[in-house]
Amino acid sequence: MSRFLPLIAFGLLVALFGFGIWWNTAHDQHEIVSPLINKPAPAFALPVLGDDTRKVDKQSLLGKPYFLNVFGSWCIECVHEHPVLSVDVKQLGLPLVGFNYKDDPQDATAWLAEHGNPFDVVIVDRDGRAGIDFGVYGAPETFLIDGKGVIRYKHVGPITPDVVAKEFRPALAALAKEGP
């Protein structure tokens, strides 16, 4: 028995390191699972891009689920995500709220003019304070908020067609099952 002890120890180490490699490839190391999921979205009241006199707040968006997409003209991944947002996410039929995060409003307007504007409304969080309340730590990030104002799902990083099929659609299906 004691003769096999080194072999057993070696086998255990192989299993441990193998598990570590599998774990690291199966999980996105940059994703922090948001503690806000299934909790009410934080209250916010932010000006609309291009019209500072108009404000959109949490109350005015209640009643129907919507997507909140955190983006910025400075964000490279947002350009990659943009076509998916404009086509695949749009097809899901939910209102799409743009959350312009830590950006110059002029740059944001120019960015939307250049790439196209998939959003129903764009709100501006210029200094990132509302972003902190949402637990935002970069862009892009996308939240699904239900009609009662509860955050149901969050995606960190660019949306791909795969993410829409494997995550967005099931999340929406779960919402639809609950009824209005």
Partner 1 sequence: MIRRLGLIALLCLLPLLAIAQAIQPLPFRDRAEEVRFQKLSTELRCPMCQNETLADSNAPIAHDLRRQIFEMMQAGKSDAEIKAYLVDRYSDFVLYKPPVEPKTWLLWFGPLVVLAIGGMVVAVQVRRRARQAPATTAAANDTEDDW
**149 near partner 1 (CB under 8 A):** no
**137 near partner 1 (CB under 8 A):** yes
Nearer to partner 1, 138 or 147 (CB): 138
Q: What does 40-56 look like in DSSP terms, one character per residue?
A: BPPP-EEEETTEEEEEE
**133 near partner 1 (CB under 8 A):** yes
How many Cβ atoms from other residues are within 10 Å of residue 86's Cβ? 16
**15 near partner 1 (CB under 8 A):** no
CA–CA gap between residue 56 and residue 122 (Å, rounded): 9
- The interface with partner 1 within residues 20-39 (CB under 8 A) comprises 29-30, 32-36
CA–CA gap between residue 159 and residue 79 (Å, rounded): 11
- The interface with partner 1 within residues 36-55 (CB under 8 A) comprises 36
**98 near partner 1 (CB under 8 A):** no
CA–CA gap between residue 41 and residue 97 (Å, rounded): 14
DSSP character at residue 59: G
Closest among 7, 8, 37, 1 to 155, alpha carbons compared: 37
**77 near partner 1 (CB under 8 A):** no
Stretch that binds partner 1, among 61-69, 79-87, 113-121, 123-131 (CB under 8 A): 123-131
Q: Which residues bind partner 1 (CB under 8 A)?
A: 29-30, 32-36, 102, 127-129, 131-138
